[in-house]
Amino acid sequence: MAAPEAKGKDLKGYLAEIEKLCNEYLVEKAPSLPDGAREAIVKFGPWISLVLLVMAAPALFALFGLGTFLAPFSFLGGLGVGFGYTLSMIFTAVVMVIQVIALPGLFKRAKSSWTLMFYVALLEGVHQLVSFNLGGLIIGTLLSLYILFQVRSYYK
């Protein structure tokens, strides 16, 4: 007797479902931003991201350097504090790298860069979830996804 086939999906399948669901609720059912606002977000958003990344880079390098030195001591405050700090640093580093990778494509309005920013929004949502920051999870993630999906049609 043959074993039944697994009907599991891979990660891309789940992400495609999430994207489809977000498109349904954040584009088709939610009120749309005015065309001028969407165009401004697409036009100036990458520049704002670039400026913020450049301004944040020295502080983040200092924080990562100091954090590496002090990480063992953060566990003195308890396992939750040390683990939370370490997890936050890992999420921050991954998100920053993905944003830097996506930035050139955002200037060119490439769909692949929009997809990377979608992954960043989802990663930030997971970060808020594991940090038990429900306000950031609901408000921050929903706002990020709303803006992303409102401008999605501008990226080809």
pTM, two decimals, is: 0.83
Distance (Å, whole) CA 52 – CA 23: 28
Q: Give tens-digit pLDDT for 12-24.
A: 999 999 999 999 9
Q: Which of 6-20, 33-47, 89-103, 107-121 has the lowest average pLDDT?
A: 6-20
User: Of 156, 155, 146, 120, which is closest to residue 27 (Cα–Cα)?
Assistant: 146
Distance (Å, whole) CA 30 – CA 36: 17
Contact 113, 102 (CB under 8 A): yes
User: Of 151, 98, 150, 152, which is closest to residue 123 (Cα–Cα)?
Assistant: 98
